[in-house]
Amino acid sequence: MIRPEEIKLSSEENGKWGMVIDQDICTGCQACVAACAMENNISFVGEEDSGYGRAMHWIRIERFWEGEYPEVKMTPRQPMLCQQCGHATCEPVCPAFATVHSQAEQLNLQVYNRCVGTRYCANNCPYQVRAFNWRDYQRPEPLSNQLNPDVTVRRMGVMEKCTFCIQRIHKAQDQAKAEGREVQDGEFTTACAQACPASAIVFGRVDNPESLVSQLAHKGHGVKHLEELGTLPNVTYFKGG
């Protein structure tokens, strides 16, 4: 059997930005979900639509029950977000090239204004992390004052998903470039990782062996979800327990 580390990957497949999520210390507090929504101008969809599985969370915290009362347990909380796959299943199926692989950042991009809303990418995403704008969700004034000008506000009929806060990546890169240096590990982070009270989410360069996220990812007990599908996800989970 071929072990994953024995497979020779192109630089594209190796990934650039990655994340490590420690499920053992994730408390399921939803701070990442709220932070993500605030950073990325995610619409709230209201009671009816969220009750029907249309909430637009880019990151969600999964929990399952195990066993029966009184031996019942809650499984370690599982924050699930776009895994920014090296071989993303969402990318080839989009007929309009609205979801494409970024050469520069090695991320799965979603080009909002190219999306025609076939929703094929969401169907084909094994992680089910894509969120569709089922309607033009209302954001009564003056709530729009809070919108982050670095992030496009999406309208009805387009797909969206976690971007690894690409606006922050670019900002940090621009800053570093202006100062004539490389982006330092830990210089910036994604909104979810920044908010997480447990620091259960660590973000950084996986192609840099010195970075915290690489060192954590190679600790050995990390798991990548649905790796058997060959998606080459860039998020590593520590299962905990």
Partner 1 sequence: MSEQFSRRDFLKLAGVGAATTAILTGCGPASRYVKREPYMQMPEYNYNGQSTYYATTCRECAAGCGLIVRTMQGRALKTEGNANNPLNLGKTCARGQATLHGLYNPDRVTDPVKRTRGSASTTAVDWDAATQVVADALKNNKPEEIAFLMGMAPDHLFDLVTDLANTTGINAPVRFGALGMFESRATLSKAAENLFGEARMPFFDVGGAEVVLSFGANFLETWISPVSYTRGFVGLREAKTKLRGKFIQLEARMSSTAGKADEWLPIRPGTEALVALAIGRLASELRGGPMPRAFSSVDPLDAASKSGIKLEMLEHIAELFSGSHVALAIPGGSALGQSNGLTVAEAVLALNAVADNFGKPGGVYFSPLAPNQTAYQSPASAKEMQDFIQKMADGKFKVLFVHGVNPIFELPASLDFKGALKGVEQVISFATFPDETALESDYVFPDHHGLESWGYQRVITGSNQSVLSGSQPVVSPFYNTRATVDVLVTAAQLAGGAFATALPFKDEVEFLQSKVAPLMSEADGFFSAADLNTFMASFQQYGGWWKLSDGRGVPGTADVLNRNMDGAEAEFAGEGEFFLVPFVSPTLAEAGANKPWLQELPDPTTTVMWNTWVEMNPETAHELGLEDDDVVRITSEAGVLEVPVYRYPAIRPDTIAIPYGQGHTAYGRYAEKRGVNPTDLLVQHFNEAGDLAFAGVKVKIEKTRQEAASFPP
Partner 2 sequence: MSDNKTHADHGAHSAEHFREKHLMLDPLPRGQMNDMVMESMLEKPTWKFWIIFAFLSVVVAYFLFYKWGVLIAKGQGEAGVMRPDYWGIFLVNTVFWIGISHAGTFISAILRVFKAEFRRPFTRAAELMTTFGLVQAGFSIFMHLGRVWLFYWLMPYPNQRMLWPNLHSPLTWDLLAITTYLLSSTMYLFLPLIPDMAMARDRSTGWRKNFYRILALGFRGTEGEWTHLRNAMNIFAFAIIPVMFSVHTIVSWDFAAATRPGWSSTIFGPYFIVGALHSGMGAAAIVLAVIQGTMKHMKYFVRGEHFDAIGKLMLIISMAWAYFFFNDYMVQWYGGDKWTQQMLHFHEAGPLGWMWFAMLICNIAIPWAILWNARWRATPWLIATVGIAINIGMWFERYIIIPISVTINRMPFTWRLYQPGIEVPMGIGTVALFILLYMAASKLIPLIPVWEVQEGQMAHELKKFGRETVVSVSELE
> Dihedral sign, CA of 49, 52, 53, 57?
positive
Which of 7, 27, 52, 104 binds partner 2 (CB under 8 A)? It is 52
The span of 79-87, 88-96, 142-150, 156-164 binding partner 1 (CB under 8 A) equals: 142-150
Question: Considering only residues 80-109, where is the footprint of partner 2 by CB under 8 A?
Answer: 80, 89, 92-97
Give the helix/strand (H/E) hosting 62: strand 60-62
Query: Regarding beta strands 60-62 and 222-223, do their DSSP bridges make them parallel or antiparallel, or are they unpaired?
Result: unpaired
Is the sign of the CA dihedral 141, 146, 152, 158 positive or negative?
negative
Positions in 115-144 near partner 2 (CB under 8 A): 115-120, 122-124, 126-128, 130-136
Answer for which of 9, 73, 104, 123 binds partner 1 (CB under 8 A) is 73
Residue 132's CB is within 10 A of a number of other CB atoms, namely 19
Report which of 133, 40, 16, 128 is spatially closest to residue 82, judged by C-alpha positions.
Answer: 128
- Residue at 223: amino acid letter: V
Both tokens of 72, joined, read: 């019942």
* 157/136 Cα distance (integer angstroms): 8
Give which of partner 2, partner 1, none residue 148 binds (C-beta under 5 to 8 Å, depending on kind): partner 1
> Closer CB to partner 2, residue 27 or residue 123?
123
Verify binding: residue 196, partner 1, rule CB under 8 A. yes
Q: How far is CA 95 from the centre of its chain?
A: 23
| Site residues for partner 2 per CB under 8 A | 49, 52-54, 60, 62-64, 78, 80, 89, 92-97, 114-120, 122-124, 126-128, 130-136, 156-159, 226, 229
| Site residues for partner 1 per CB under 8 A | 24-25, 27-31, 33-35, 37-39, 44-52, 55, 57, 60-61, 63, 65, 68-70, 72-74, 77, 140-149, 191, 194-200, 240
